[in-house]
Amino acid sequence: MNNLNLFSEIFNERGALLAIFGAMGGAVRSAALKTTWREGVRVVFIGSVTSFGVGALAPYLVKPWIGDLPDGMAGALGTLCAAAFLVGLLAVTIIERFLDQSQNQRHPDGAEQ
């Protein structure tokens, strides 16, 4: 088994593009909300890593916002990059809401244990 080939399959040009567009989405969110530079770095990092991790599933994750795509369009590089931008834009909000909901389910009265 060639581990270098597996590494190059995961960290290829498409993954780099998705991470870049996710970082741009995070940067737009940070600029629009006028966050501090530390919060901005956090948002850009989360947008980039989330977009890279989601990868080709991004068009399906943002389907509620962009609607149905024509056949064969979901795998196109332009569609993937646009979806990665949207994932980067929405990632922090979705993650924070998920964490708030899970914390509220564990501690419904609001008390920390």
Q: In sequence order, what DSSP letters do the residues of 20-80 get, joined into one string?
A: HHHHHHHHHHHHHHT--HHHHHHHHHHHHHHHHHHGGGHHHHTHHHH-PPPTT-TTSHHHH
Which is more confidently placed, 75 or 16? 16
Q: How far is CA 45 from the centre of its chain?
A: 10
pLDDT value at 39 more than 60: yes
3-state secondary structure of 110: coil
pLDDT at 111: 58
Tell me the pLDDT tens digit for each residue of 48-70. Answer: 888 888 877 777 777 787 777 77
pLDDT at 2 over 70: no
pLDDT of 94 strictly over 80: yes
Question: For residue 74, what pLDDT band results from cuts at 50, 70 and 90?
Answer: low
Structure tokens belonging to residue 49: 């890593």
Structure tokens at 18: 């998705």
